[in-house]
Amino acid sequence: MAKLDVDSSSTADREDDSCEGPSRPPPQTRRKSLQELSLLSQRTFKEYEYAELEAATKNFSLDLKLGEGGYGLVFKGKLHGRDVAIKVLKKEGFQRTQEFQHEVELLGRIQHPHMVVLLGCCSHRGCLVYEFMANGSLDDRLFCKNGTPPLPWYARFRIAAEVASALYFLHNLGPEPVVHRDLKPANILLDHNNVSKVGDVGLAKLVPERLAAINSTYFRDTTPVGTFAYIDPEYQRTGLFGPKSDVYALGIVILQLLTGRGPVGVHAIVEEAIECGNFSSVLDSSAGDWPVGKAEEVACLALQCAEMRRRQRPMLETVLPMLDGARNYAENCAAIHATNRALAGDPKAVPPSIFLCPIFREVMQEPVVAADGYTYEYEAIRQWFQAHDTSPLTNLRLEHKQLTPHHALNKLITEWKTRAKV
């Protein structure tokens, strides 16, 4: 296949399409995306006055309360015409100012499509201002809270891969790798297209650079933190945490995605169903017509991730390609489904996420494959390469910057646009 020169440019207009929902981004989305992309390495936090946050939330009205976590309340607000989520730390939590400053400084460096963006803070009153995630948490959607519709199976495969990619990115941050330590559905948020982003990294601990440089994989904290059902059993017992602590939590989350069940006992339920040859009975029927064989492969991987002994769990570098394979399978099925709906004249037909650039979150016009194996809109990845030599999704250094046109995907997108009359 032909290779593209990343220094060349493209001036083609783009479509204003979105994924898995009826909402569509405004015409300015592409220009805004380019501006944001060009500032990725320069983004700074805004220090808000407490009065601004009071006005944005109508004096922290309970009517605007989004939820409550271990560290405080979260409110919906509007700042400068933009919807935001404002986390107000509990008084006793804010007294631990080191943890507050840790979260602010940490999120200031994180740039990933599947990590929640921290926009600013009010440091003297313990408030954090995040981007607003319109579809709430994965926990809400798994249990259809407030009458929300269930997530289809192909979206669940995709979310599993997205979360794994975010964790892999965190674990490969330099010079100080990060372990999340509190991964759970309540901390996985969904935007208006049901694209997932990992949030609430306030409990994450930076691995000291002096320790990261040696052959030590695990680090000691005498007070285990996190949510019980998702905490690495060895972390509870020894106080030692590391990347495989997040792998354990990821395994439990994936089992929940497959079954729609709570976390307690889900490992044993799925394991027994597989051993009895009755795995399909534990799949969440509300997610649609599961490809049982593929789902069982994912379940077996999740069971390995959630092994009691840390040494028996796989590394994320092994897990991620397998989840990406499941996501690609699911999104190909979703693409065919979307095209058929468009052909049938369904006015609600929307593009599957495989058609969307992970940077722009719009339907691609020139899909290309980069050295990390992921597909991007040509213009987006070209802009990224102007300031980076790493993958936008894994944070790993790329062997080269050559881009290969994805002709098969481009054909599918063109066919979908024609049939959907986009």
Q: DSSP label at 137? A: B
**Alpha-carbon gap, residue 317 to 150, rounded angstroms:** 30
**Alpha-carbon gap, residue 32 to 37, rounded angstroms:** 8
Q: Residue 82: CB partners within 8 Å, gap ≥ 6?
A: 132
The domain segmentation of the chain, as residue ranges, is 1-41+345-422, 46-131, 138-328
Is the per-residue pLDDT at 366 higher than 90?
yes
Domain 1-41+345-422 adopts which CATH fold? Herpes Virus-1 (3.30.40)
Of 4 and 67, the one with more pLDDT:
67
pTM of the model: 0.76
Confidence band, pLDDT 50/70/90 cuts, at residue 349: low
Report whether 196 contacts 254 (CB < 8 A): no
Q: What CATH code would you report for 138-328?
A: 1.10.510.10
**Alpha-carbon gap, residue 215 to 33, rounded angstroms:** 40
State the binding site for ATP.
87
Report whether 361 contacts 14 (CB < 8 A): no
pLDDT in tens, 175-217: 667 888 889 999 999 988 888 999 877 555 434 433 333 334 5
Phi, psi of 258 (to 5 degrees): -75, -40
Count CA within 13 A, CB hemisphere, residue 37: 24
- Please list the active-site residues: 182
Tell me if residue 130 falls in helix, strand or coil: strand
State the binding site.
87
Q: Which of 190, 181, 141, 137 is nearest to 162 (CA)?
A: 190
What is the CATH superfamily name and number for domain 46-131? Phosphorylase Kinase; domain 1 (3.30.200.20)
pLDDT in tens, 397-421: 898 999 999 988 888 888 888 877 6
Amino acid at 174: G
Report whether 131 contacts 119 (CB < 8 A): yes
**Alpha-carbon gap, residue 76 to 83, rounded angstroms:** 7
DSSP strand E in 297-390: where?
A: 367-369, 375-377
Report whether 87 contacts 181 (CB < 8 A): no
Q: Residue 367: is the preceding peptide bond cis (ω within 30°)? A: no
pLDDT at 396: 81
Of 219 and 310, the one with more pLDDT:
310
